Amino acid sequence: MKKKFALSFVALASVALLAACGEVKSGASNAAGNSVDEKTIKIGFNFEETGAVAAYGTSEQKGAQLAVDEINAAGGIDGKQIEVVDKDNKSETAEAASVTTNLVTQSKVSAIVGPATSGATAAAVANATKAGVPLISPSATQDGLTKGQDYLFIGTFQDSFQGKIISNYVSEKLQAKKVVLYTDNASDYAKGIAKAFREAYKGEIVADETFVAGDTDFQAALTKMKGKDFDAIIVPGYYTEAGKIVNQARGMG
């Protein structure tokens, strides 16, 4: 619940940031020719509303919509109401790129909020940049994602920061001197956190194992881990697999 609230809040802040940049000169337009001098200001949502990481995308979509509703209720931006064009990228990188193209060429939006994930954001940014449309992701965390990008903005910390914080928590709060690292090898997000954790953690990593997003049975790997001497299992990855890993580990005692 706390994670979903945080994502919603960051999405809300992202829209507020775009709103703060909303004052433009009369007759202005972006590279795609999308006018920002109409009666409304069009903003596109490009979120993971269905699919593998829908819990992230839907939370952020709700937060972003809340921000729009509050801004409009307060009079809008320079007297103009924000009009939202909401698209679902289905938690797929190719769809995120396609949605971006649709938003800038068909819907004629002036800015885009989303996607939620780093992979989808990386796929979407080229089309937004080509059109000269700013894109802000509330939660893309990949290190270096914004490097060399004039139209891409992120609203959160990076993978390397998360890895260091996890290391500090494990060492100082849990007092764990030996850990097992169990990483989603299909996720750049998970691999980035795991890399940073390895670099920051001063204890012993007694096993460095991997799984793949979509896996559902972790019994074999957990049985292998159970025979080792360690204080904690660190699972860089998404909630879908992490939840199953926790439940299966608890079931094994």
Q: HSE (CB half, 13 Å, CA atoms) of 207?
A: 19
Tell me, yes or no, whether 126 and 172 share the same domain: no
Tell me, yes or no, whether 47 and 149 share the same domain: yes
Tell me the mean pLDDT in the region 56-71.
Answer: 96
Question: Please, what is the angle between helix 239-251 and helix 219-226, to 10°?
Answer: 50
79 is in which domain, residue-wise?
Answer: 2-154
Say what the pTM is: 0.80
Cβ proximity of 28 and 19 under 8 Å: no
Residues 6 or more apart whose Cβ sits within 8 Å of residue 230: 176, 178, 179, 180, 206, 207
Cβ proximity of 10 and 63 under 8 Å: yes
Of 154, 169, 199, which closes a domain?
154
Q: Which of 7, 18, 20 is nearest to 133 (CA)?
A: 18
Q: Tell me the CATH number at 121.
A: 3.40.50.2300
Of 112, 132, 154, which closes a domain?
154
Q: Which of 105, 134, 103, 9 is nearest to 62 (CA)?
A: 9
Tell me, yes or no, whether 15 and 93 share the same domain: yes
Tell me, yes or no, whether 185 and 146 share the same domain: no
Tell me, yes or no, whether 80 and 28 share the same domain: yes
Tell me, yes or no, whether 97 and 184 share the same domain: no
Tell me, yes or no, whether 136 and 41 share the same domain: yes
Cβ proximity of 157 and 141 under 8 Å: yes
Check whether 37 has a pLDDT greater than 80: no
Tell me, yes or no, whether 215 and 139 share the same domain: no
- The reported pLDDT for the residue numbered 14 is 56
Of 154, 177, 206, which closes a domain?
154
Q: Based on the structure, what is the number of domains in the chain?
A: 2
Cβ proximity of 133 and 110 under 8 Å: yes
Q: What is the 3-state secondary structure (H, E, C) of 169-229?
A: HHHHHCCCCEEEEEEECCCHHHHHHHHHHHHHCCCEEEEEEEECCCCCCCHHHHHHHHCCC
- What is the distance between the alpha carbons of residues 153 and 146, in angstroms, rounded to a whole number? 7
Tell me, yes or no, whether 31 and 135 share the same domain: yes
Tell me the mean pLDDT in the region 223-235.
Answer: 95
Tell me, yes or no, whether 183 and 129 share the same domain: no
Check whether 93 has a pLDDT greater than 80: yes
- The reported pLDDT for the residue numbered 1 is 42
pLDDT band at residue 196, thresholds of 50, 70 and 90? very high
- What is the distance between the alpha carbons of residues 163 and 133, in angstroms, rounded to a whole number? 32
Please write the tens of the pLDDT for every residue from 94-112.
Answer: 999 999 999 999 999 999 9
How far CA 20 is from CA of 35, 76, 247, in Å, comes to: 18, 11, 44
- The reported pLDDT for the residue numbered 127 is 98
Tell me, yes or no, whether 66 and 173 share the same domain: no
- What is the distance between the alpha carbons of residues 191 and 213, in angstroms, rounded to a whole number? 12
Tell me, yes or no, whether 7 and 130 share the same domain: yes
> How many other C-beta atoms can be found within 10 angstroms of the C-beta atom of residue 232?
16
